[in-house]
Amino acid sequence: MKKSLQVVKKRILKKEEILRDIHYLDPHLSSFSLEEVFIYFNTTKLEILKEHIKSIKLQKNNHLDKITTKSCFCVDSKGYLKDLYASEVLAVKQKERLYKENSILLNVYLCPNRCGWHLSRV
Ligand SMILES: [Zn+2]
C-alpha cells in the first residue's frame, strides 16, 4: 500500500514537472491546466507530451538563434520571456494560427524596445 502511494505521488510530481515545462516553454499555454494541455496536443499520454516538450525546446533554440542579434527582455504577466517575431507578418501568422487552433485572440504589437513584434492577450 505504502509503495503504491509513492508511485502515485511520483506520477503526480512528474505531471507537475511536465506542466511547468510546458508553461515555461510556451507562454501561450501558461493558463492551461494539464487536462487542457492534453487536449491541445490531442493526446492522453504523458510520454507524448514529453516528446512535444522536446520539440518545443528545439524550436525555441532555433528561434533564439535567429534573433540573437536582436533580442529583448519583455516578459508576460507571469514573468516569462515573450516570444519575439522578427516581422509583423510573422507575428500575424502566429496570431492567426493560435486563433485557429485554440480560439485564443491575441494582439500584435511592436516591442517597446523596437526589437521586433510580440503577441499579447486581448
Ligand atoms: Zn520586446
Å from CA of 61 to ligand 1 middle: 18
Residue ranges per domain, the chain?
1-66, 69-122
The more confidently predicted of residues 67 and 104 is: 104
Query: In the prediction, which pLDDT does 66 show?
Result: 52
pTM, two decimal places: 0.45
Contact between 27 and 82 (Cβ < 8 Å): yes
Query: In the prediction, which pLDDT does 1 show?
Result: 60
pLDDT one-digit tens code per residue, 37-76:
999 889 999 999 998 888 888 777 666 555 444 568 898 8
Amino acid at 73: F
Q: Which residues on adjacent β-strands are paired with residue 121?
A: 106
Residue 79 pLDDT more than 50? yes
Contact between 108 and 119 (Cβ < 8 Å): yes
Query: In the prediction, which pLDDT does 68 show?
Result: 45
Work out the pLDDT band at 95, boundaries 50, 70, 90: very high
* Average pLDDT value for residue range 101-109: 94
Query: In the prediction, which pLDDT does 91 show?
Result: 94
- Residues with CB under 5 Å of ion ligand 1 are 72, 74, 111, 115
Calculate the average pLDDT of the chain.
85
Å from CA of 62 to ligand 1 middle: 18
Tell me phi and psi for residue 48, to 5 degrees. -65, -40
Range picked from 8-17, 92-101, 113-122 for highest mean pLDDT:
92-101
